[in-house]
Structure 1
């Protein structure tokens, strides 16, 4: 107990008088208020930061627009290091010591070496993220880990989101690309090399659009945010205007505005995305037999119109019994699910091994 107190993880909350005889016992309680966990996400058009203390109190929750695809890995990681440094300074002012950082990236991750093997939508290949961040100024004594964004978002939903208590689920990111986090039997399913869940690059239309991975007709070319923007607002599609970086929420606001103005392309685009979303979801239901498919990112924002269309395609294309026992759910975390899940990973690591926190 003394050691845990010295590490700032326990605190005295006063004596307890259980009876009239003997010395009163000293009551201790978990105290995570001085130790922080930081989750980061770098995606195509933003960087997100989410920090909590070990008690779950939210300390930082921010997202900044940033064109990571245009910037490339070096400039992106320099920017990421800057955002981390700012977060560390903010935590320090609150009297909170950072216990670790987990970074969410939309791509294939080699967790043991903290390397992004391939992130097609970012244009990254074999990028040693932890080493680059340390070289860019992140303190070397801060543990850094990385993971796939969809895997981390799925963890967030299981730990504190709409899927609490659900042991078998699929989480679908609604970003420029599409990722998939799988929880099976209450545990993340990663596959032999940690690459499971890359459903965005399953080819569904060989005659379709060219994907960032170099293939043609991948699922994300049908349902990713870039696909929706291309169909609904072709004059503002990704890559048509590089003068400023647009946050995904701004793109969705424009689509909603055009729909309100009677632009028929918007409804047609949402219906088309819904059809392909249902077809892909049916494949996942047939493969993994989940109880829930959680829609995150922009899917959640448009869920009231996407789900009815997707549900029909799901029921038509999947095994009837499996489809009937699986339901769509809407994430409440929006574009912040991955960074929230990243912070959760840091918290779980500390709680499973408190000796990682220095004695103060």
Structure 2
């Protein structure tokens, strides 16, 4: 695995392939060009991509046959000559699915190539006290339901990406270690693909990495070349974008910021060590401080995190002093940890996701003040802390985006419409 994964943007178009044997690359070039630049005529594409007229005509015909491009209205190309048919990306036929298994919920999110949301669902699930097989079986049930809904709406599922909070071998689709889930060496991609039996490619990635990708592409800080995204769940992870690239590290394990040791004498973390940052700022820490009788060790079913937060926010709105003290405590530790990240990566923005975004008004002022106090570079190295607008959907949105990127990189992964209609796969 490489040190960093490049993120394509409209400002970085792919270069045209120089050989007819690289047809797939040329298909991707034309498809991405239409996606980034908007509707174009064949003549426009010839000029802007520097591909030949015959090549563009052939590539467009194939993209239309695969249902990825459609012909639109006629446009007059100047004072003389016949009108040109406008081409545009057809996003309705191709779908992608993002999935997530976290400590207290399972989520699915699907949309088509054009960005239309086809399915979204999150259910409470006690993954901490379930076996990997139980969690993956539940995930498979939700996935089959989501795929059926996407198919009903006319979208061919082109790919699935699963977000897991832990160390992931992306190449194999294995979860090497997910401390808060109690998972070790779980072949998630293989097991889910076998459960589905649908022949759809399944990838697995770290939840914070996928969330950072989503934030970079569509969040409140979209396009910011240097940012750090923090997941706000029971565990805390970090997705780091440096120079417009996702930082993975040589083995793909970069971003495990929740396990920075900030208090060696603190409580035991799910990883077995003491005083990890997530034990100070994770959702379990806030619940323990604000509602100790309803902590994660309390008997009974584990509620959805939104339900937990609703009760705590109600208490804060009513002026409950212990709740406000709990927010202040989390805010202080959040600022301390963020200062370490700013000193390391010098980002322009720190984006708070998950539950952090929901309680931002109570924790960000304290965290920002602590960050400003502790950043070594002072004003020269200042960065702002802001709440994500993607909430608990960031990871599944990022996973969905990864599957869509695969189609844009390889349009031949989508079968022609004629093949699908004839029932041939």
> So what's the TM-score if we normalise by structure 2?
0.82
* Equivalence for 2:330: 273
The CA RMSD over aligned residues, in Å, is: 1.4
**Between Structure 1 and Structure 2, how many residues are aligned?**
358
CA contact (8 A) 2:136 2:192 kept: yes
Aligned to 2:128: 69
1:168 equivalent in alignment to 2:226: yes
Are 2:118 and 1:87 equivalent residues in the alignment?
Answer: no
C-alpha change, 1:120 and 1:138, in structure 2 (3 Å) is: farther
The 8 Å contact of residues 7 and 357 in structure 1, kept in 2 or not, is answered as yes
SS class of match (1:171):
strand
Instruction: Note if 1:250 corresponds to 2:312.
Output: no
From the CA coordinates, give the structure whose radius of gyration is larger: 2
- Give the alignment of 1:161-310 within 5 angstroms: 161-241=219-299, 243-310=300-367
- Partner-residue secondary structure (3-state), 1:113: coil
Q: Which moved more, 1:317-326 or 1:115-124?
A: 317-326
Q: Which residue of 2 aligns with 1:97?
A: 156
Deviations 1:1-46 (A, max 9, x none): 1111111001111333335754433322111111001111110011
* Matched residue SS, 1:358: coil
Residues 103-143 of structure 1: CA deviation (Å, up to 9, x unaligned):
1110000001000010000010010001111232342x101
Q: CA deviation at 1:323?
A: 6.7
SS in 2 for 1:355: helix
| Structure 1 alignment gaps of length 5 or more | none
Are 1:353 and 2:410 counterparts?
yes
CA–CA distance in structure 2, aligned partners of residues 20 and 155 of structure 1: 45
SS where residue 308 of structure 1 aligns?
Answer: helix
Residue aligning to 1:326: 383
Distance 1:215 1:28 in 2: 57
Contact preservation (8 Å) 2:375, 2:382: no
Give matches, 1:6-17, under 5 Å. Answer: 6-17=65-76
Whether contact under 8 Å (2:193, 2:202) holds in the other structure is: no
Counterpart of 1:2 in 2: which secondary structure? Answer: helix
With over 3 angstroms needed to count, the CA separation of the structure-2 counterparts of 1:322 and 1:58, relative to structure 1, is farther
Q: 1:84–1:138: 8 Å Cα contact kept in structure 2?
A: no
Going from structure 1 to structure 2, the CA distance change for 1:252 and 1:25 (only over 3 Å counts) comes to: same
- The C-alpha deviation readout for 1:135-174, integer Å capped at 9, x for no partner, is 32342x1011111111111111110111112100000111
Task: Give me the whole-angstrom Cα distance separating, in 1, the residues matched to 2:254 and 2:318.
Answer: 41
| CA distance in structure 1 between the aligned counterparts of 2:221 and 2:317, rounded to whole angstroms | 32
Distance 1:33 1:249 in 2: 31
Q: 1:317 & 1:209 partners in 2: Cα distance?
A: 24
Secondary structure (helix, strand or coil) at the match of 2:252 reads coil
In the alignment, structure 2 segments of 5+ residues that lack a partner are 1-59, 418-425
- Distance, in Å, in 2 between the alignment partners of 1:307 and 1:323 is 20
- Asked if the contact 1:180/1:199 (under 8 Å) is kept, the reply is yes
Q: For 1:148 and 1:262, how far apart are their aligned partners in 2?
A: 37
